[in-house]
Structure 1
């Protein structure tokens, strides 16, 4: 039985890298039927919003989506298309793996980390206002419910992936009520998983230790703002945002997308690296249970990435976006 998946090309370089990912996924043998829906800047004139209702309806019907990066136009009523999607679909878990890849040269080797970021509250709730003319105030919201489900999600992911340790990241030494609640809940949930090691780490120390000894960490779970920052740090350990896949997952729906932006200045040039989009597709395949197809793509990447004739300029190569997809397909 085919998996029906919503496909959102996105803005800027989105259509090019999404097409590359779609071709690779189709060639892998995965049984996917795509429902293509347009969102972003290209639909603004017609619908007055970058996120028309039919996009949400498609995802709700299909349960799973693969999307390209989107530009957030100014003055549309919400801060970000991605934030709006997360809120509308209650995609409370942002999952960002960072794994060393053959042929991608970095300062580090053998990195294999997963950042699990709470997606719905913290300072990202956007509850802020001016206090008079000369001060601004933002309210940090941490709830027991959201903390419980994100920490439990991290432990379930660790168990599913055969991981050994979960680290809760916080600043409870200073923010004793908000981060204090998150840490207390993390400790309570950790007690339900005696098979998985648990530790907690203050966020500034975590940033230092990820640079010094990243091999000591495995799955990390944290509130929204820390997750936004540290997941980019982890991407830097393995080559940058161009190789960083991501997923936004809730109890009912899941949307997979690369971490990087839409890079409009490169749009239409067939030159950008599709790897983050392809790896997001690999995450999607695993989510759907298409593990053999996902493994085939990962094996093909180990053959393609070290060959500079087969990869794009930012990876030190000479291939175009579509050509890199061709080479991956050839090595499936």
Structure 2
């Protein structure tokens, strides 16, 4: 009989909608198996919250009014996916995921782009070129600041005006730039690629460019480039071997990271971390994919994005060796051909989870 763990991490699980419930269950199983094999070194204490579109249909709210207060005391948040056809997307996103990100100042969104063995990429270059990069997304302002409004509807049909204002602050640009440069210092290729559109957006993105350029002077050991977002989308396809850390605004990084995951084989593979680096609030870890209503409840969801997000959470907890073990177990599973349909296989969600847990134990 074992005693209490040396350290217990408290985690708020928010599966939310669709396949989110399936992949959070998968990730929890992997983390609990890892803890059970740790010899009492660590454990996870889970509290699950029922928020999401189903909760909205019952209550008119995506989460409890005091939900943020309920989450504040946890070490981390493990999130599934938000969205369902019966609820408008802007309500579901702003009512839950963005509400958490914005209020907990989770300003650094880290999205690795990783090419797994055994998974065929649509990018021919991936067959014989080592590819591995990470997208760092400014996660608190930019195009998703939520500033603007709709007016003049009283003038009659066809006369309403909508304003959506992107917010760029020097503080926001500087802190995400320094985060990207510090991350690059720890990688084999010490390079930061800044994504911009300052030729057309002459205010906010010029401030972004100027701030990135100023911060770069503090990192003479890190190679730096500035690339227009349209050119960067082409570079993801044509010259991905030249990428290491890509830092971009909220909208640009959101789009580019999805492109990167598609090039790796599937959005179902993509992990992410929404970080409050100062640790004033809990950080949130989630797969990049959506709620996938078309396959929800059928056991077909790819759990690798969620399990990779769990590995990022382990890194955040200082359990880097354990995070490495989870990533190695994922690699061994894909290399063995245990693949869900989105990456050309026939395995069910549970098959992938069982394989990863088996690889952990071996």
Q: Quick check: TM above 0.5? A: yes
Instruction: Give runs of aligned pairs for residues 310-329 of structure 1, distance below 5 A.
Output: 310-329=338-357
Match of 2:27 in 1: 21
Match of 1:179 in 2: 205
Residues 38, 55 of structure 1: 8 Å contact kept: no
Match of 2:275 in 1: 249
Distance 1:54 1:323 in 2: 38
Distance 2:55 2:92 in 1: 15
Residues 20, 278 of structure 1: 8 Å contact kept: yes
Residues 155, 166 of structure 1: 8 Å contact kept: yes
Distance 1:243 1:78, change over 3 A: closer
Instruction: Give runs of aligned pairs for residues 153-192 of structure 1, distance below 5 A.
Output: 153-161=179-187, 163-192=189-218
Residue 182 (structure 1) shift: 0.5
Match of 1:150 in 2: 176
Residue 231 (structure 1) shift: 1.1
Residue 131 (structure 1) shift: 6.5
Distance 1:77 1:328, change over 3 A: closer
SS at match of 1:189: helix
Instruction: Give runs of aligned pairs for residues 88-237 of structure 1, distance below 5 A.
Output: 88-106=103-121, 107=123, 108-109=125-126, 110-130=130-150, 132=152, 133=159, 135-161=161-187, 163-237=189-263
Match of 1:36 in 2: 48
Residues 168, 207 of structure 2: 8 Å contact kept: yes
1:48 aligns with 2:63: no
Residues 6, 64 of structure 1: 8 Å contact kept: yes
Distance 1:102 1:137, change over 3 A: same
TM-score (norm 2): 0.85
Residue 217 (structure 1) shift: 1.1
Match of 1:301 in 2: 330
Residues 18, 291 of structure 2: 8 Å contact kept: yes
SS at match of 1:311: coil
SS at match of 1:120: coil
Match of 1:68 in 2: 80
Residues 194, 212 of structure 2: 8 Å contact kept: yes
Distance 1:78 1:219 in 2: 27
Distance 2:252 2:246 in 1: 11
SS at match of 2:117: coil
Match of 1:258 in 2: 287
> Which is further off, 151-160 or 86-95?
151-160
Residue 173 (structure 1) shift: 2.2
SS at match of 2:166: coil
2:315 to 275, 280, 286: 286
Match of 1:6 in 2: 12
* Unaligned segments of structure 2, at least 5 residues: 1-6, 36-41, 153-158
Residue 47 (structure 1) shift: 4.1
> Which is further off, 129-138 or 185-194?
129-138
Distance 1:313 1:233 in 2: 19
Residues 8, 66 of structure 1: 8 Å contact kept: yes
Residue 169 (structure 1) shift: 0.9
> Which is further off, 73-82 or 144-153?
73-82
Residues 114, 220 of structure 1: 8 Å contact kept: yes
Which structure is larger by alpha-carbon Rg, 1 or 2?
Answer: 2
Distance 1:237 1:77 in 2: 28
TM-score (norm 1): 0.92
Residue 195 (structure 1) shift: 2.1
SS at match of 1:264: coil
* Unaligned segments of structure 1, at least 5 residues: none
Residue 161 (structure 1) shift: 4.5
Residue 11 (structure 1) shift: 1.0
